Structure 1
Amino acid sequence: REPQTLARACDLGIAMQLTNIARDVGEDARAGRLYLPRCWLREAGVDPEGLLARPGATPALKSVVARLLREADVLYTRARRGIAQLPLPCRPAILAAALLYAEIGRELEGRYALDSITQRARVGGARKLALVARAGFASPWLSGGAPLPPLDAAMFLIEAIARHPGRPLREADDGALPQFLRVLEIFERLERAERYGD
């Protein structure tokens, strides 16, 4: 509940949401939704209404998607400082979640050539396992670094938590590995639900 840690948690949540937005541009447009910043679209020469009417993976749209992923990457980097402030048993699961979501952006940039209109970027099973292993090995060695100010957009959350302190969290009775596996199971269920409408 420490404000710096909460600020970094907000960074991670926003980074993950930006990654989702970048990955789902086509799906969202076909459903009549547009989450990309309209001012960025206009700066790139993309008509927002035209995008909704006729989604296409144009170079201009790809530049906006790339810009959104760069913003997410800045936030993933900031978030790692907060992961370092978490209790050691929590770190692997949260770092794995951060790495897995950031990897969606890498896939979108690489294999999918920033085309989130005609295809949906996914991370393969082997790569997921490698990232989970990396999180397990790297999480004890993360460092917090100097404090960073919270994002303006997240201040209301941090202030709300400060006004309403909850009861202290207790250490988990069942250890870090089961917690870690539960977080991964949640991500797998979410991905299945997105893919198959479960």
Structure 2
Amino acid sequence: MHDRAITTEFGFQIDLQSCENLMRDGSKSFFSASRILPSKIRDSAIALYAFCRLLDDMVDDPNAPDNVIEQIEYRLDRIYAQNPVDIPADRALAIVVERFLIPRDILEALVEGFRWDRSGRQYHTIDDLCTYGARVASTVGAMMTLIMGVRDRAVLERACELGLAMQLTNIARDVGEDARNQRLYLPREWLEAENIDPDLWLQNPIFNDGISRVTQRLIEYADQLYERSSDGIAGLPRNCRSAIASASLVYSEISRQIERQGMDSISKRAIVSKQEKNIFNFKIASYNYL
């Protein structure tokens, strides 16, 4: 048993290198904040995010086969049977879900959100959008909390709110990119209140005052979630708090950048520089989360 554990850990570390390479190139905000997590937590978080990133890329691929969701569900079957397909992220996640007792229901909810993406589903109200965000983002917040060894309901709820806030920030940042790919996540009800026909706008996605106000509303909604979610950080292990606080600040800063560019995320893309992320990490680590 001891020899098997050593072999498993060795294989995990090899697969983790592949996961790290994927995250370094594809999820820079998370990767930056993850550097100040304890190594054991960070390794498992990297494995989780890498797997989610791979699934996201599969779903977004315009050339993906019609049965891409079924392929993902098959991979989950193999992971939870502790017989993952021969992909580094799958092998790594199989170890993580066993080690931290990650319920399959959480990953199934994530896949349901991906299914909605594949169907081109749109969202009429902000509540509808949050239902989607709960699947594709709150699930990740919940799993991260479990990886940190926390199962307290209130802390899990705050983690879900933080994941949702980050997803809404992503949506506000990517309005133009999504529209050019014929995807619309802004609440249709909000657009219609600005006398914008969502379907006509998708045919020619231009920035205007109405889009500006809708984007501002989304950012303000996300800001409320960031504020509420901050209460949960104190419930995390002390050596994990800085990383989560930093990630929250980095994503909040994306919103501030959107505001500085006049709410225009059609012709511009808000980014937080590597230097700014490092500054956030330093400030948080030297404040009161340690």
Matches within 5 A, 1:22-171: 22-110=172-260, 112-140=261-289
2: CA distance between counterparts of 1:139 and 1:80? 13
Paired residues in the alignment total: 140
| Bigger mean CA deviation after superposition, 45-54 or 33-42 | 45-54
- TM-aligned CA deviation for residue 139 of structure 1: 4.5
Distance in 2 between residues matched to 1:139 and 1:46, nearest whole Å: 46
Q: Look up the match of 1:188.
A: none
Structure with higher Rg: it is 2
The Cα of 1:129 is off from its aligned counterpart by 1.7
Give 1:51 shift.
1.9
Q: Where does residue 157 of structure 1 map in the other structure? A: none
> 1:119: Cα distance to partner?
1.1
Work out which structure has the larger RCO, using CA pairs closer than 8 Å and 6 or more positions apart in sequence: 1
Secondary structure, in 3 states, of the residue corresponding to 1:107?
A: helix
8 Å Cα contact 1:11-1:75 kept in structure 2: yes
Residues 120-166 of structure 1: per-residue CA shift (max 9 Å, x gap): 1001232222211122123428xxxxxxxxxxxxxxxxxxxxxxxxx
For the Cα contact (< 8 Å) 1:5–1:82, is it kept in 2? Answer: yes
Cα deviation digits, residues 78-116 of structure 1 (max 9, x gap): 111001111110001111110001100000001x21101
Give the distance between the partners of 2:185 and 2:205, measured in 1 at CA: 13
Q: Secondary structure at the match of 1:16?
A: helix
SS of 1:100's equivalent in the other structure is: helix
2:164 to 7, 14, 28: 14
For the residue of structure 2 that corresponds to 1:42, the secondary structure is helix
Q: Does structure 2 conserve the Cα–Cα contact (< 8 Å) formed by 1:95 and 1:139?
A: no
Q: After the TM superposition, list the runs of 4 or more consecutive aligned residues in structure 1 that deviate by more than 4 angstroms.
A: none
Q: Normalising to structure 1: TM-score of the pair?
A: 0.68
RMSD: 1.2
In structure 2, the CA distance between the partners of 1:139 and 1:29, relative to structure 1 (3 Å rule), is farther
Task: Give 3-state SS (helix, strand or coil) of 1:10's partner.
Answer: helix
Tell me, yes or no, if the aligned pair for 1:103 and 1:123 is still in contact at 8 Å.
yes
Q: How much has 1:45 moved relative to structure 2?
A: 1.7
Distance in 2, Cα, partners of 1:80 & 1:4: 12
Deviations 1:150-192 (A, max 9, x none): xxxxxxxxxxxxxxxxxxxxxxxxxxxxxxxxxxxxxxxxxxx
CA distance in 1 between partners of 2:201 and 2:273 (Å)? 29
Q: Relative to total residues, which structure has the larger helix share, 1 or 2?
A: 2
TM-score after normalising by structure 2: 0.47
For 1:38, give the aligned amino acid: R
Instruction: Give distance in 1, aligned partners of 2:200 and 2:253.
Output: 30
- Quick one: distance in 2 between partners of 1:77 and 1:114? 21
User: How many angstroms apart in 2 are the aligned matches of 1:50 and 1:138?
Assistant: 49
1:25 CA drift (Å): 0.3
CA contact (8 A) 1:84 1:139 kept: no
- In structure 2, runs of 5+ residues without a counterpart are 1-150
CA distance in 2 between partners of 1:63 and 1:80 (Å): 26
Q: 11-20 vs 36-45, which deviates more?
A: 36-45
The Cα shift of 1:20 comes to 0.2
Contact 1:83 1:91 in 2 (8 A): yes
